[in-house]
Amino acid sequence: MSQNELDRTDRRILAELQRNGRLSNQDLAEKVSLSPSPCLRRVRRLEEAGYIRNYVALVDPEKVGLKLMAYVSIRLNKVLRSSHASMSDFARDVQHWPEVVECYAMSGDMDYLLRVQVEDLARFSSFAMDKLMQHPAVVDMRSSFTLQRIKEITEIPV
């Protein structure tokens, strides 16, 4: 199943489930103008084809005490950067740092962009100094802290 195989109804199903992943099949079927059985078959097909990766609860970080969000750009050592192994090592190590909630390999001057969510500046400082800057491949780190959330959505346009 490719993107070209998604019809209007599939796209409506994806849009509705992005808004509310807890919709019952009956409610979803009504919203997309299908009967329940064909709706369920379509949802299962979308899941099996990987269009729907997971169903989650979005937890408010501030409510659980994670009040500081930072975006951190990482540049690896130029000698090591040419070595695929060092990039793989860094990417592997990031998987074990709970403070990092997103990590992307980037083009341009920096090699990685991390989104870090922690309790406060002291915790960020500890994470940056004890983990990030101690990593053997890291040569430069630049941090930007969020001041205000303007827009945050999880829905992608389908």
Tell me the pLDDT of the chain (158 aa) as tens digits. Answer: 655 689 999 999 999 999 999 999 999 999 999 999 999 999 999 999 999 999 999 999 999 999 999 999 999 987 755 566 677 899 999 999 999 999 999 999 999 999 999 999 999 999 999 999 999 999 999 999 999 999 999 999 99
Distance CA 158, CA 155 (A): 9
Instruction: Please indicate, yes or no, whether residues 101 and 32 belong to a single structural domain of this protein.
Output: no
Instruction: Please indicate, yes or no, whether residues 70 and 14 belong to a single structural domain of this protein.
Output: no
Domain harbouring 132, CATH code: 3.30.70.920
- Asked whether residue 56 is domain-assigned, the answer is no
Distance CA 142, CA 140 (A): 7
Instruction: Please indicate, yes or no, whether residues 132 and 70 belong to a single structural domain of this protein.
Output: yes
- Strand blocks (E) in 40-150: 68-76, 100-105, 112-118, 138-145
- What integer pLDDT is reported at residue 77 of this predicted model? 87
- Asked whether residue 150 is domain-assigned, the answer is no
- Asked whether residue 157 is domain-assigned, the answer is no
Instruction: Count CA atoms closer than 13 A to 52's CA, side-chain side.
Output: 22
Domains: count for the chain:
2
Instruction: Please indicate, yes or no, whether residues 20 and 86 belong to a single structural domain of this protein.
Output: no
DSSP string, 78-104: HHHHT-HHHHHHHHHHHTT-TTEEEEE
Domain harbouring 25, CATH code: 1.10.10.10
- Asked whether residue 152 is domain-assigned, the answer is no
Domain of residue 67: give its range. Answer: 61-145
- Asked whether residue 54 is domain-assigned, the answer is no
- Asked whether residue 132 is domain-assigned, the answer is yes
- Asked whether residue 55 is domain-assigned, the answer is no
- What integer pLDDT is reported at residue 3 of this predicted model? 55
Determine contact, residues 119/67, Cβ cutoff 8 Å: yes
Number of H helices, E strands in the chain: 6, 4
Residue from 8, 15, 61, 40 nearest 154 by CA: 15
Instruction: Please indicate, yes or no, whether residues 32 and 91 belong to a single structural domain of this protein.
Output: no
In this structure, the strands spanning 112-118 and 138-145 are unpaired
Instruction: Please indicate, yes or no, whether residues 86 and 132 belong to a single structural domain of this protein.
Output: yes
